[in-house]
Homo-oligomer: A and B are copies of this chain.
Amino acid sequence: MNTRNRPGRHVSPQPGANRPSYGLGTPARTLQARPQQPVFAARDLVPSQKSAPNPACATDPARPCRHPLSNELENRRLLAHEQAVKGRFAAIIPALKHLAAQQHEADFLERAQRVARADLGFELPSGILEDAWIANLDMRTLYGACVMHTIRLIAEQTQAVPQNSDEVTSFLLDCGYHAVDITPCSDGRLKGLVRYILRLPDDAVRSRKAYAGAMFDVEANVKRWIETELMRYREGQPVTADAGTRYLKIVVYHWSSSDPAHEGCAAHHSNERDAAEAGLGRLREFRQAIENSFCCGASVDTLLIGIDTDTDGIKVHVPDADGEMSLYRWVSNLTLYKETVNDDASGARLKVYQAIQAASATNGWGKGNGEPHEGMRRLIATLLINNLSQIEYVCGNWGGRYPDIGHNERFISLGDGFEEFQVRNLAYFVYSHTVEEGGPDLDVGLQIFSKLNVLHGLPVPVAIHFRYDRRVPGSRERTVERCQRVKAAIEARYAELHRQGLLVCGMTVQDKPSGSPIEPVEANGASALRSAR
């Protein structure tokens, strides 16, 4: 087991028997508990083992958390993946420090490449190393190159593992949804949303474009809805239009329970209520846009979810029978975890459904018009149960609260984003096709990195990544041009940082089908399918 966090060993989660089961039958079958594991076996991988009591940890600090509905095996796999990915990035600075000490040695070039191959898994750009004797080693450029190379290396290793998402797609269809579209905040602490926090396979989700404060583009989302609809009508994908299924739009906002006034959502000034209210408003606008613009009863279902980024516990705002939500009608999964951790599996499952029922019965401010339809109830129950594993993941590995409750991203991801990266605090992700439109969101990212990197003299790494469509002639060439246009716009927007070498942009493109290789684009426009090693 302890070989897992050695660089170069691939430890991404694998499809396997112990994944959550998304059955098509009754809730009881759908939510079947995993075989119990007697002890938490991944302790040897835990980065900072806390034995002191932690207020965010639900259970007795003297014994490890063990919830009857959590997926122990998946938790270990996910931990190994997170460790491997973060380990790769963590290796960069020690390796560069090592090189810095040796830069005036006679055989520096050979030494440096030896260190790089061993510690980072790739070779460094030899031009920078060769010029080290003239002045000092250009550490900023070298750091930028290492971050970009590491991104590609991880992506290459991750994409080799195809995910089997048919089961989840069937489950979602069974709940009445032919497409699930999630908008999280750009904040890096939500980067593990789909794979970790909600425990869904990536390709079961139609879209997960991120915006600062989760303030998604309603018009662009209407276009995405149109595309999804046409596939149902024209090609019967994933089901025909007469199947009675719906498009589900989810918005995810966040807050910090340990430091609510400072470590919440920057776009909403760390005000949880404002973040939730803005997300709810945007969801209503989207639904209204569809209902007003299309005839024949066109509509969508919407769902608002909040996340405490310190514990990864979710709060689900339960819609009423009309699909309406309230800021005051929700289920807190952290509470649910505490209430069910000592139950047996079927007792815990029952309490999950009862909690949804109780939320629907809320009176006063949050009062709604009854319970949501059965498919929505099953979906919410499944998300809550999936998230119980994640709460336990944080309890078991970090004593119930992440050590890095604030920003700790490694790079800024701009463009279409990497589907391969689903790890908390790895990247601040801005979905945008132009800096002109995405600029304000990007500014937030630059502010974060001015503290994380610039303050220490390290550049801000911006990974520009766009998808093209090989089926569309000229699409790849135009996408490469878009990369270059966006890079130029970023360098113009942050001209002073760029001039000082404190801004490093990398560019990559990728074909549309999931798992396509990531192709680096050179600054001069050349691009090629290259091995990262």
Contact = CB atoms under 8 A, between A and B. Distances in A.
A475 to B, nearest CB: 7
A222 interface: yes
A9 interface: no
Nearest to A235: B295
Nearest to A292: B471
A296 interface: yes
B436 A485 contact: yes
A289 interface: yes
A284 B230 contact: no
A494 to B, nearest CB: 14
A305 to B, nearest CB: 21
B234 A472 contact: no
Q: How many interface residues does chain A have, given as a range? A: 35 or more
Interface string A283-303: 011001100111110100000
Contact of A289 (B222, B289, B295, B472): B472
A293 B229 CA distance: 15
A312 B531 CA distance: 55
Contact of A284 (B226, B227, B293, B473): B473
A443 interface: no
B289 A473 contact: yes
B485 A437 contact: yes
A485 B437 CA distance: 8
Contacts of A485: 436-437
Contacts of A250: none
Nearest to A468: B219
A222 B294 contact: no
Nearest to A486: B436
Contacts of A218: 472-475, 478
A285 B474 contact: yes
A489 interface: yes
Contacts of A478: 218-219
B436 A296 contact: no
A136 to B, nearest CB: 36
Interface string A450-475: 00000000000000000001011111
Contact of A233 (B219, B241, B434, B475): B241
A530 interface: no
A472 B222 contact: yes
A234 B229 contact: yes
Interface in A195-241: 218-219, 222-223, 226-227, 229-230, 233-235, 241
A120 interface: no
A435 interface: yes
A170 B494 CA distance: 54
B434 A219 contact: no
A473 B230 contact: no
A228 to B, nearest CB: 10
A376 B469 CA distance: 30
Contacts of A475: 218-219, 289
Contacts of A298: 234
B489 A296 contact: no
A218 B469 CA distance: 11
Residue among A219, A485, A486 with the highest chain B CB neighbour number at 10 A: A219
A226 B230 CA distance: 7
A289 B219 contact: no
Contacts of A235: 294-296
Contacts of A489: 436
A469 B293 contact: yes
Contacts of A292: 471-472
Interface in A382-441: 434-437
A294 B485 CA distance: 29
Contacts of A471: 289, 292-293
Interface in A114-154: none
Contacts of A469: 219, 289, 293
Interface in A464-516: 469, 471-475, 478, 485-486, 489
A234 B229 CA distance: 9
Contacts of A293: 469, 471-472
A513 to B, nearest CB: 12
Nearest to A475: B219
20 contacts: A218-B472, A219-B469, A219-B475, A226-B226, A229-B233, A230-B230, A230-B233, A233-B234, A234-B298, A235-B295, A235-B296, A285-B473, A289-B469, A289-B472, A292-B471, A434-B437, A436-B436, A436-B486, A436-B489, A437-B485
Given A235-B294, A235-B296, A434-B434, 4 more contacts: A218-B474, A219-B478, A229-B234, A288-B472
Interface of A: 218-219, 222-223, 226-227, 229-230, 233-235, 241, 284-285, 288-289, 292-296, 298, 434-437, 469, 471-475, 478, 485-486, 489
Q: 10 shortest A-B CB distances, which residue pairs?
A: A292-B471, A233-B233, A289-B472, A285-B473, A436-B436, A434-B436, A434-B434, A230-B230, A293-B471, A288-B473
